[in-house]
Structure 1
């Protein structure tokens, strides 16, 4: 049995009055007691702040920070800037965790001398009863930083490998690393930096985190917002590729470029499925075309040389590039 070191749990809060009590109940009921709970109210316009204050009255481990709406990245950064714990965990305010979420991850981290540990999760729908498969056994796997970076694009374990919320971290892993402000896909923007700092990452198959898929989630977005999400993800992949080049990870750089090529193809296919009855249909088409063309114009030669991109996709990317270059409507630029 280890001495319980302080663990900081960071919870960004924005207009989640319907889900917040369940989230906070699961946190204050943790078997592991030595925790500080940082709630960052990001300009909520519903009762979320009032709920935070009610829970603070009941539990002195809770600290509330209140700010104007600046987005998830800003809220998480406030938590990181004010964390006093030796270890860090993130929980989204519409999700909830098992009572042994922290205790299991903390014990695993200490037992394996890891810098980051990860549990499994299940996705739940609103008002669904949670069913956890009965199993007394679960497996753990240990990885070096590079080995885990090689799993970034694994569809088999997605999204476990690209989110920050199902993990426990040594606090020093986050030194001088913060989430980018004003960007979507904020987890993807930092995970490669975080993983690269770890000496060892241990993954458990035990289900300890419950991810709520709700109607107002980022997956249900307008076409304009979807374009912005694609743009930000392309930027993230570019920055990641540059980082891997700086580190000398040539294979990871090539894989990242291939991932970018696949994303460009996916964006183009999405463009073709736009509803022509949309009021701003012509503008959306222009913006999608511009997004795809710029990504191809920058990298088409690299895509054609990339050994992780299949010949069929290379031909398709070249076709799209030439079509947009000579016949595409590119009169608008993306802001």
Structure 2
């Protein structure tokens, strides 16, 4: 056990605006929900454990919100390990409009469903909550606060952001500057390779399927294609794991799921190339074991030639 609780208590003694809540570990969603329910300030933000934040992140994000009159703000980020940093992948920011009074590309704004599509499409902004700030007043509807889904280990951020933005007028300004530093751990929940099909995999697939069903009422073809693309990648990750563990039964099951998804539209050259490499790497390894995995080889070849538009 570290001394983070003691450090927080010491900070609260120095500044009466700080409220510390000691809560038994019940998962990240439960902790976030408790914080959101107890918060009384004007703004809400989140930070993941072990990550780092830039010294000016909240000054710049809130300043951009006030200058542009938006309900939220989002900055770029950098991933880092013990060896250094890996810059967050920059995207084209298609569909984002330049904000009033800003430099040419530093700050841009959009709102509602269009904002959520930017999170899905642009890797440097991402459908996560830790690089964003929100006005507390926009995080609720007539039914109450937008709470995070419990018992979900991967995809809870994306689902929550969909509630906050899709079909609503929630606005956001984007700052094309890395102010948040996300720690990439090989042993973390999002980078576990030793197990077979994990709860992370199942949650990722389930969240995309549920979002696809939820957004149908919006009749937004691009949004559906974005979610379909993300679902395809989530299922492909399981297919790759099935190969590594020689799990032919689950391979057949998830291959059928890929067929049900059908052809997908790729978003950005990096996404296309990433998926081509993923399919090809699985196919190449299957060829090495062709006597055992003949059926897999045939099916992966079909994916190689038909998965993208």
Query: Structure 1 266/128 Cα, relative in aligned 2: closer, same or farther at 3 Å?
Result: closer
Q: Which residue of 2 aligns with 1:28?
A: none
Query: Structure 1 182/199 Cα, relative in aligned 2: closer, same or farther at 3 Å?
Result: closer
How far apart in 1 are the matches of 2:10 and 2:20? 11
Secondary structure of the 2:198 match is helix
Secondary structure of the 1:260 match is helix
Alpha-carbon offset, residue 232 of structure 1 = 0.2
CA deviation map 1:249-272 (0-9, x unaligned) = 233223322432333223212221
Query: Structure 1 129/149 Cα, relative in aligned 2: closer, same or farther at 3 Å?
Result: closer
Q: Which residue of 2 aligns with 1:145?
A: 112
Q: Which residue of 2 aligns with 1:192?
A: 162
Q: Which residue of 1 aligns with 2:175?
A: 204
Match of 2:254 among 292, 312, 316: 292
Match of 1:100 among 16, 36, 56: 56
Alpha-carbon offset, residue 130 of structure 1 = 11
- Structure 1 residues not aligned, in runs of 5+: 1-44, 277-284, 317-322, 325-335
Q: Is 2:189 aligned against 1:218?
A: yes
Q: Which residue of 2 aligns with 1:179?
A: 148
How far apart in 2 are the matches of 1:288 and 1:77? 35
Secondary structure of the 2:108 match is strand
Q: Which residue of 2 aligns with 1:113?
A: 69
Q: Counterparts in 2 of 1:1-335, with a 5 A limit?
A: 45-126=1-82, 139-154=106-121, 157-158=122-123, 160-175=125-140, 176-185=145-154, 186-196=156-166, 197-214=168-185, 216-221=187-192, 223-224=194-195, 227-274=198-245, 285=247, 288-289=250-251, 292=254, 295-296=257-258, 300=260, 303-304=261-262, 306=263, 308=265
Secondary structure of the 1:120 match is strand
The aligned length equals: 252
Give the conservation status (yes or no) of the 8 Å contact 1:123–1:211: yes
Query: Structure 1 120/56 Cα, relative in aligned 2: closer, same or farther at 3 Å?
Result: same
How far apart in 1 are the matches of 2:23 and 2:252? 36
Quote the RMSD (CA, aligned, Å).
3.4
Q: Which residue of 1 aligns with 2:302?
A: none
Q: TM-score, normalised by structure 1?
A: 0.64
CA deviation map 1:181-228 (0-9, x unaligned) = 111122122222222234422101123222223455323436448521
Secondary structure of the 1:149 match is helix
Query: Structure 1 106/46 Cα, relative in aligned 2: closer, same or farther at 3 Å?
Result: closer
Q: TM-score, normalised by structure 2?
A: 0.69
Give the conservation status (yes or no) of the 8 Å contact 1:77–1:178: yes
Alpha-carbon offset, residue 122 of structure 1 = 1.9
How far apart in 1 are the matches of 2:123 and 2:184? 15
Alpha-carbon offset, residue 179 of structure 1 = 0.9
Alpha-carbon offset, residue 61 of structure 1 = 2.7
Secondary structure of the 1:251 match is helix
